Structure 1
């Protein structure tokens, strides 16, 4: 079952940056910034007085993904560049890819919620186009879906909840979510 928004409001990055700032960004001194290349999180410093979630090429879905990571990062992690997390770029072997997928399950489950709140279809990202190992996208998606159902039954992290509420209200999406609002699970 595909879920459609009630009205045809095309998602725009300007709306997302505004909604993010109004719903949570102002409270956490954080802004969404359109980047030109790779996404990165930059904490405030002597040159920039606010934290920056820099997303790739102005893509709406890149911004949603980076917001999801921010929603999971704790207070101390939000003071570190890229939250101080390990990242191995595209080109991973099987061990590196498995490690990557393990840390991507929760953010991608939140990204799925943010996508639905924006009236968009979520697409899982294995992010290993040039690797020596070809990941099983369906197995990874199943793990993300399991985390998604957990979030729907127990609640999203607080910042993710606020952003989802703001997006759903703006895009006129029924909220709180029910599992029936999500794309049919690929088998």
Structure 2
């Protein structure tokens, strides 16, 4: 049995949860989610502490951390990944990075397209077959996304751009993050899935 802290800031949902992982599955002991695309840094730590309080546990009880690594906006991803890495370093526990789209797709069955907001009139997307990713992640305009799936999940606003039945799974969950992690392998260094250059770039030097 392992007590896992799961965090994700790849979407407007600032997710933090405490999950008990056992040989038979996962149990969510506490979870806090705040939907605010401009408050990742302000909301993540309070959500972590709130989830721990809901679970009746302390930070020292954690045995691992799982972090959503995107795809997502540069600033949001940086908040979640830096926070998760800091908890892992301070506690001396492993930190597993997962694709945030996988944390949505793992809760689906059949052939499903998962989409989230990439801004610039684009979407981040991946395809899943019975919860396992078979294509992506990638970023494209909605018209350029292969949409020959049986259903679509993820951001409701962007799922509505596809003429497919919509599933209720809309954002990464603590349970999905933990189940999407590859527990059979040693954790690798966290790598953000930006999929494109950040919006802000350093100014060019004048000649």
TM-score tier, shorter chain, comes to under 0.3
Higher strand share: 2
Greater relative CO, 1 or 2 (CA 8 Å, sep 6+) = 1
TM-score where L is the length of structure 1: 0.27
TM-score by length of 2: 0.25
Question: Which structure would you say has the larger Rg?
Answer: 2
